[in-house]
Chain A
Amino acid sequence: MDEFKVKGKVWLITDNNGDLINDIDTDQIFHNAFLHITEISEMGEHTFGNLEGWKDFPEKCNPGDIVFAGSNFGSGSSRQQAVDCFEALGIKAIVADSYGAIYKRNAINSGFPILTFNQINNLVKEAGMKNRDEIEIDFLAGELKNISSGKIFKIDLFSKVQKDIMEKGSLLTI
């Protein structure tokens, strides 16, 4: 099924040392100054608007891109906008070492594919994944393929609930 496969170019959300950033919180993803926004189409331009080094992300990303980050991604507030803003930009999936608990629920419930990759920095440091590499993720087969380098990794969805909701589009349409 096509909705369980994505193919796109990588954005590695890294710091000055080239490490994927940990603990990126919802105020860095979608700042509280814009919480009044309820239209998803208006959210994209604020993505990473408060994350040092990545404030120009909305201009430089392209629909179909895939975002990689470190551990505890999306910690902090319960704002759905921190998930919806990626959808607004046409980002196809997020891969991180781990997620804030509420963020994980929010993404699963809106049918937005988020995946975990344990020790994700190894993908960059050891497996040599680079920004703008083209990758393909098959959620059901649990496979992440770096088309640029030809390397294949194992990756999993969280649970059956996540699959069920993604199949129906959102928690609200199950």
Chain B
Amino acid sequence: MSGKTVIEKIFTNHSEEDISPGKIVWIDLDVVTARDFGGPNVVKNFNNNYEGQSVFDPSKVFFTFDLTVPPKTIQYANNQMICRNFAKEKGIKVFDIDKGIGTHTLIENGLVQSGSIVVGTDSHMNILGAVNSFGQGMGDVDITFGFRYGRTWFEVPATVKVNIKGDPSYDYSAKDLVIKVLSILKTDKLLGKSVEFYGELIKKLNLPERITFLSMITEMGGIVGFIPFNENTSNEIKEMAGLDKVAPEIKADEDASYFEIIDLDISDIESMVSAPPYPHNGVKISDLDKVYVDFGFVGSCTNGRIEDLLKVWAILKGKKIKEGVQLAIVPATVEVYKQAFEKGILKDLLDAGAIISNPGCGGCAQGHIGMTGKGEVMVSTGNRNFPGKQGDGFNYLTSPEVVAYSVLNGFISDREL
């Protein structure tokens, strides 16, 4: 019998059934969450189907408000109120509108360990792969069942092994890397698959870079991605989670069997953007015609950590962004916001002309922090640029560095010109 992949091991630890790809099994859940989006529907489903019943374990169920925070319409205010009232009734903790992006908040609060299975109403739940756990975004019916029973069905995903190889000479970022990989693999190669990435080029990524890279497995159509730890990863997780100890890494067996093994040579990587209208539409900036920008956005679950903000600060410090161009910065969480405050970078960013917003999903979620008008161009560190997602214009996805240089120069660029 052959060995197991990472996802097969995590499933095996959470199920009484034999785990093999393609098989449908029942899985126990460690943490079940709902956001202010999805959450009110979960409450409604729960009350309609399980009236008067309790959630499976109030210490494992959370609301994480991050979509429209603070609420900008009466409907969102009512939806959040519905969740808060339900939480009070069932004894559930709410990470409220002040906290920031739910997935990041879960990591920062030590609620996700190596090998955990965590579900929530967020399609980028799989960023938890960065801390070696399985995060799965789900709709409100699924989450309602999870709230009540703490388990769900899964079709065990097959695993694809991707070896990242090459000898790149360019000083690229994790965002360049993921856009490059996404532009090669598109949305069909990994559809419905768990993915393990190997090779020194990927293993050397630090934790925030792993979050950036693995958040965009969703855009590749994949279920979740994993990268083997390097010598610092465990300590980085401890630090982010505020824990003295974390569970040991779940590694694939040497003789695990893979659905497919893909070798990717990224030697020719440069600064990348995802040109609209698709995240997988990766283009080298050097191949791009001059694209004037109207709006820059730094933030999201993909690039909203302090390390991302520091990169922007290093470029914009003491300078002014181009007249007529706007820049919005949204820290992923209140912890990131505090770090930015303590490091003293906020004043420099404000002096440069940035808008700095409270933490959350603003910027991606319904343009709570800025949208484009018809035909306007946004450069964004987010993860989706589908038509209409962030306004009526064109949205280029890229790294924090490129956003900073682009708002400085007034056109998409990866250096000061």
Contact = CB atoms under 8 A, between A and B. Distances in A.
Contact of B366 (A33, A71, A72, A98): A33
Contacts of B41: 38, 80
A140 interface: no
A52 interface: yes
B141 A78 contact: no
B320 interface: no
A101 B192 contact: yes
Given A76-B123, A77-B123, A35 B138 contact: no
Contacts of B2: none
Contacts of B73: 36
A171 to B, nearest CB: 5
Contact of B49 (A23, A110, A172): A172
B40 to A, nearest CB: 5
B38 A80 contact: yes
A106 interface: yes
Chain A interface extent, by class: 35 or more
Contacts of B386: 25, 27-28, 76
A134 to B, nearest CB: 31
A41 interface: no
A104 B299 CA distance: 29
A159 B155 CA distance: 9
Contacts of B221: 72, 75, 100-101
Contact of B187 (A23, A83, A109): A23
A11 to B, nearest CB: 20
A75 to B, nearest CB: 6
Nearest to B389: A27
Interface string A59-96: 00000000000011001111110010000000000000
Contacts of B79: 36, 38
Given A77-B123, A101-B221, A160 B24 contact: yes
A172 B139 CA distance: 13
A161 B188 contact: no
Nearest to A174: B145
A38 B44 contact: yes
B185 interface: no
A159 B22 CA distance: 10
A113 to B, nearest CB: 15
A78 B388 contact: no
Nearest to B67: A35
A37 B79 CA distance: 9
A52 B387 contact: yes
Most buried by B among A35, A76, A98, A104: A35
A105 B138 contact: yes
A170 B139 CA distance: 13
A101 B188 CA distance: 11
B162 interface: no
Contacts of B49: 172-173
A109 B142 contact: yes
Chain B interface extent, by class: 35 or more
Given A27-B389, A38-B79, A78 B122 contact: yes
Contacts of B12: none
Contacts of A171: 141-142, 145
Contacts of B144: 172
Contacts of B123: 76-78, 102
B191 A101 contact: yes
Given A32-B365, A80-B38, A106 B187 contact: no
Contacts of A106: 138-139, 141-142
A79 B366 CA distance: 13
Nearest to A101: B192
Contacts of B139: 78-80, 83, 102, 105-106, 109-110
A50 interface: yes
Nearest to B125: A78
Interface in B104-139: 121-123, 125, 136-139
Nearest to A35: B37
Contacts of B278: 23
Contacts of B366: 32-33, 35
Contact of B141 (A31, A36, A101, A170): A170
Given A38-B44, A72-B187, A80 B140 contact: yes
Interface string B189-203: 001100000000000
Given A36-B76, A36-B79, A102-B138, A78 B153 contact: no
Given A25-B386, A35-B67, A80-B38, A75 B45 contact: no
A76 B382 CA distance: 13
A110 B139 CA distance: 10
Given A33-B366, A172-B45, 10 more contacts: A36-B76, A38-B41, A72-B188, A76-B123, A78-B139, A80-B38, A102-B123, A109-B141, A160-B24, A171-B145
Interface of A: 23, 25, 27-28, 31-33, 35-38, 50, 52, 71-72, 75-80, 83, 98, 100-102, 104-106, 109-110, 159-161, 170-173
17 contacts: A28-B386, A35-B37, A35-B67, A35-B366, A36-B68, A38-B79, A75-B187, A77-B123, A78-B121, A100-B221, A101-B221, A106-B138, A109-B142, A161-B24, A171-B142, A172-B49, A172-B144
